[in-house]
Amino acid sequence: MDAVTELLSAVLAGLSAILFGIATAAAVRYRDPRLAMVGGALGLFVVIGALSLLHELSPRYGAPFQIDPVPLGLAVAAVALLYVALVRRPSAPPTR
């Protein structure tokens, strides 16, 4: 299970960091506080993923940051759904 948890931690930190950058850039450009709140939430996911990865790579220093694979998988699924919603193509306008 350690390899699975390491992979989930790395994926969570990486995907969240990418989306955090996009949300921050969009919040600055459009001056929308909702985007800033989404960016803040994604920033928390980056921290959670990084601390979980620290625990997996160095249990001595990261002992208090252990996260079980199931909640970590749910967090990855939530961020993946955000990513899919971001990159999917917009639907074609209806033709008349």
**For 49-88, what is each residue's pLDDT tens digit?**
999 999 988 878 878 888 888 999 999 999 999 888 877 7
- At 19-44, the pLDDT tens digits run 999 989 989 999 988 889 989 999 99
pLDDT given for residue 50 in this prediction: 94
Q: Which pTM was predicted? A: 0.83
Please state the rounded mean pLDDT for residues 3-20. Answer: 92
Q: What is the CA radius of gyration of the chain?
A: 16
Integer Cα distance of 48 and 5 in angstroms: 13
CA distances (Å), origin 15, targets 19, 56, 60, 81: 6, 18, 26, 11
In the three-class reduction of DSSP (H, G, I as helix; E, B as strand; rest coil), residue 94 is classed as coil
pLDDT given for residue 93 in this prediction: 78
